[in-house]
Amino acid sequence: MNRVITLNEFIIEKQKDFPYSSGELTGLLSDIGVAAKIVNREVNKAGLVNILGATENSNIQGETQQKLDVYANHQFVSAFRSGAEVAAIASEEEEDICVYQNEISRDAKYVVAFDPLDGSSNIDVNVSIGTIFSIYRRVTKGVCTREDFLQKGMYQVAAGYVIYGSSTMLVFTTGNGVNGFTLDPSIGEFCLSHPNLKTPENGSIYSINEGHYNDLPEGIKQYLNWCKESNKADNRPYSARYIGSMVADFHRNLIKGGVFIYPQTAHSPNGKLRLLYECNPMAFIAEQAGGKASTGKQRVLELQPTALHQRVPIIIGSKNMVEKVEQMLEQFSPVSTL
């Protein structure tokens, strides 16, 4: 029986492949693993301690902060501060960037944009939730500014997510493929369980909130109708699977094949999901796993961000499925009407 490979063993072994390979990224990825284990512990017992439910506060998005949102945010902010490989962070739970003032962090090479607990409205109903992170090298000198975060997704050094589900997994890429690690609670280690993860080019799962159907672009409506037609040759009708937690929907589609769509709607003209800490990291992973990520008009990773909490439409998952959606958008909702 093969011996397990822990996250730290893997990171150290692969360190030579890391872009600008240096110990800092190794330490940073390891710090994320530790913070994820701490958050996982609270997520798993959330029903037993007074950490369910909402606070009286709202985040910059105007969304009510769940107690676990705040807890998870604190754990990752602290982990990045003490690790000293990160000069500043941008978080879904923070209005602006948080620059670490301690001496060592001031000269750190990296910045991290993250969503500490994505899908947190599902916490109280025991549905899988997740953490999403995106790592860049700084581009400014001196004190970090937003410019360090407003980089195109193609310049990410690493990106990943933790899914707190039936098991807890850490999935990440440093630009050399995607690897998945499953937490073994008996030893408290993330162990390599999905080496060199590739997503199927085709799938038969589509994930979208069809409650928005009447507000969707015509091309998306036509695609959904196409998914529901019977055609044995390409396994239609497809199955609709939508959890309302991007990390969980993305992860299922990554493994099984499928497409996740959160387009612009009348209510959300730029879509709902945030470019910096949801769409870009997931797009990096999708492409590294052989999939695709598009706004419907262009490759997500080529977008020039203009604001920390900027929202963009996203169509992400199996390559051929994303291309089918793009083709129907082109046919029924040409760019001029999007």
Site string for ligand P6P, 191-230 (x = CB under 6 A): ------------------x---------------------
Q: Which is nearer to ligand P6P, 142 or 211 (CB)?
A: 211
Instruction: Verify binding: residue 182, ligand P6P, rule CB under 6 A.
Output: no
Q: How far is the CB of 208 from ligand P6P (least distance, A)?
A: 8
165 touches ligand P6P by CB under 6 A: no
**DSSP letters spanning 28-49:** HHHHHHHHHHHHHHHHHTTTTT
311 binds ligand P6P (CB under 6 A): no
Tokens matching residue 325: 């959606």
Contact flag: residue 131 with ligand P6P (CB under 6 A): no
From 118-126, 140-148, 193-201, 283-291, span contacting ligand P6P (CB under 6 A):
118-126
Structure tokens at 267: 């209510």
Q: How far apart are the first and last CA of the chain?
A: 54
Ramachandran class of 18: left when φ > 0, alpha when ψ lies in -120 to 50, beta otherwise: beta
Interaction of residue 83 with ligand P6P, rule CB under 6 A: no
Q: How far apart are CA 311 and CA 268, in angstroms?
A: 9
In the region spanning residues 17 to 76, those forming contacts with ligand P6P, defined by CB under 6 A, are none
**182 residue type, one letter:** T
Closest distance of CB 207 from ligand P6P, Å: 8
- Helix 319-332 to helix 218-228 angle, to the nearest 10 degrees? 130
Query: Quick one: which segment of 113-121, 156-164, 165-173, 192-200 binds ligand P6P (CB under 6 A)?
Result: 113-121
Q: Closest by alpha carbon to 122, among 190, 196, 53, 56?
A: 53
Minimum CB distance to ligand P6P, residue 96 (Å): 20
Q: Among residues 233, 215, 275, which one has the least CA distance to residue 224?
A: 215
Question: What part of residues 252-291 is at the interface with ligand P6P (CB under 6 A)?
Answer: 272-273
178-184 and 129-137 strand pairing: unpaired
Min CB(29)–ligand P6P separation in Å:
23
CA distance 149 to 86: 12
| Near ligand P6P in 317-336, by CB under 6 A | none
Give whichever of 106 and 309 is closer to ligand P6P, judged by the CB atom.
Answer: 309
CA dist., res. 224 & res. 217, Å (int): 11
Q: Which residues bind ligand P6P (CB under 6 A)?
A: 118-119, 121, 209, 244-246, 249, 272-273
